[in-house]
Amino acid sequence: MSLPDARTAAADAGPGSGRERREAGPAQSVRQRDTAAAWGAPLLAAAAMPLLLGLATATAPEPVTLSLAGLALTWLALRTQRLRSAARIATRHRDNLARLAAPAVARLVAETDSVALRAGWEQEATVLFADIRGFTRLCETLAPGEVAAFLAEFRTRTARAIEAAGGLVDKFVGDEVMAVFGVPHAAPGDTDRAVAAARALAAAMTAWSGEREQAGLPPVRIGIGLHRGSVFIGTIGAERVEFTAVGDTVNVARRLEQMTRTLACDCIVSEAVVRDATSGEARIVAVRPVRGACAVLRLFAIRLAP
């Protein structure tokens, strides 16, 4: 056998022959590609889009680089659009809450975790109730639409006076308003702010009565009750929830407001309010049990006129 024939025979007999390598080449490429795909897919899913695009553009030809840059701009535009859409939805949600509740309540509900709101918390607060005197008799002379307009004007003026004094309007029920001072966080001076709100309410009703008298309409008088103590703050309800303050302190404040009709006072406050307030004149008007209260209370009248 000649030397060329020997070399040919040895090459054909060897384990790594060219034909076998050529036949094995496509299969090996497929296996390598499948392995790369199996490892590459999770990496692509986990990596940030800007990082991947940056790595690709650094090694790709110019036309591919331009295409990837366009893809990056499209991704950023879609991302910005989604963020703006989420911001619009959040703003609309807060606006809808503000239409159904006081602005401070809307902000508190929007910014507080729903679980914390439902669990609630207990704290000290000063509660104010105010009610229009003779409202039922007044409604007898008005059409339903006029009653609605009257209540809307009353609520606007009332909320403005309470919120300017630092209070939180808890709810309106007909011609009655409930407000709390020291929610969501108690602070020194909460009771003084409640007394200031009572005086601001009286001043607002006096100004409104002057406008009504010029139009030949009857004046508006209100009765106010104030009490201080522990209250529970949170959302109450299942399908329809309400953010509110509840407890014996709330019940007593409402009873004090109702007692202004029988004790001939515009504003009655409990001894807890008198002790916590730092200013204002108060005179004792009764020592009696209050319906809904756990003990006999000393009741005081405070002067609302400046």
Q: Which residue has the higher pLDDT, 94 or 231?
A: 231
pLDDT digit string (tens) for 81-115?
Answer: 888 877 776 666 555 555 555 666 667 666 666 67
Tell me what pLDDT residue 210 has. 94
What is the average pLDDT score of the chain?
A: 77
- Burial group, residue 277, by CB count within 10 angstroms (0-12, 13-18, 19+): buried
Write the DSSP string, 123-172.
Answer: EEEEEEEEEETTHHHHHTTS-HHHHHHHHHHHHHHHHHHHHHTT-EEEEE
Owner of token pair 């009610």: 131
If one compares 186 and 99, the residue with the highest pLDDT of the two is 186
SS3 175: coil
Residue 181 confidence class, pLDDT cut points 50, 70, 90? very high
The rounded distance, in Å, linking the Cα atoms of 297 and 9 is 119
Nearest in space to 303 (alpha carbons), one of 277, 267, 252? 267
Split at pLDDT 50, 70, 90, the class of 57 is low
Instruction: Give the model's pLDDT for residue 8.
Output: 44
Token pair belonging to 118: 């439902």
For residue 1, pLDDT over 90 is answered with: no
For the chain, domains (ranges, CATH) are: 113-302 (3.30.70.1230)
Task: Please state the φ and ψ torsions of residue 61, each to the nearest 5 degrees.
Answer: -65, 165
Q: How far is CA 281 from CA 150, 168, 200, 216, 228, in A?
A: 32, 24, 16, 34, 17
Q: For residue 273, give Cα distances in angstroms to 166, 168, 210.
A: 17, 17, 31
The H or E element that residue 34 is part of is helix 18-46
Residue 255 confidence (pLDDT) above 80 = yes
**Confidence (pLDDT) at 85:** 75
Q: Are strands 282-289 and 242-246 parallel, antiparallel or unpaired?
A: unpaired
Question: In terms of Cα–Cα distance, which of 197, 219, 189, 195 is closest to 207?
Answer: 219
Which candidate, 116, 88, 115, 117, places its Cα nearest to that of 101?
117
**Confidence band of 273 (pLDDT split at 50, 70, 90):** very high
CA 240 to chain CA mean position, Å: 16
